[in-house]
Amino acid sequence: MEVKNCKECGRLFNWMNGPKICPACVKKVEDKFQEVKEYVRNNKGASLEQISEDNDVAIKQIKQWVREERLVFAEDSMVGIDCELCGKMIRTGKYCNECKDKVQNNLATGIKQKPKVEPKKPVKDNPRMRFLDK
């Protein structure tokens, strides 16, 4: 456990993992999320800009919720975010259905191939492991 400054309010708090935001600010974001969720449900036609303005929340934050699949737009709504691979409009998650399939296939083959590809180096010389450590 470490003591860190909250990125939002600057207060010191005991940080373990995840975003460097204190519990009070996490709660604030959580309350905001409930507000936005309710708003989206009642305003199906609202654009991202509108949602952002009416709820005083950053578009970036809204998109993050959508990527985390916490916020889902109605099938017939005009709002969406871009598929991270092909840029097609999607309503939730990171990828459109086609790209999701592709990613899942890649993942499956990746796992199968892994023993062959894995270099036989000591862990500390593996740059990838160092990167993960950060």
Site residues for Zn ion per CB under 5 A = 6, 8-9, 22, 25, 83, 85-86, 88, 96, 99
Q: Which residue, 23 or 45, has its beta carbon nearer to Zn ion?
A: 23
In the complex with Zn ion, which residue's Cβ is closer, 4 or 43?
Answer: 4
Select 8 or 35, whichever has its Cβ closest to Zn ion: 8
Query: What is the closest distance, in whole angstroms, from the C-beta atom of residue 11 to Zn ion in the complex?
Result: 5
Cα→Cα distances 115→102, 106, 126, Å? 21, 15, 15
| Structure tokens, 89 | 């409009």
Q: How far is the CB of 21 from Zn ion (least distance, A)?
A: 6
Q: Are 72 and 91 in contact (CB under 8 A)?
A: yes
Q: For Zn ion, which is the closer residue by CB, 38 or 98?
A: 98
Minimal distance, residue 108 CB to Zn ion, in Å: 18
Q: How far is the CB of 24 from Zn ion (least distance, A)?
A: 5
Give ∠ CA 74-46-59 in degrees, rounded to 5: 95
Please state, in angstroms and as integers, the Cα–Cα distance from residue 48 to each residue in 35, 41, 86, 99, following that order: 14, 13, 20, 23
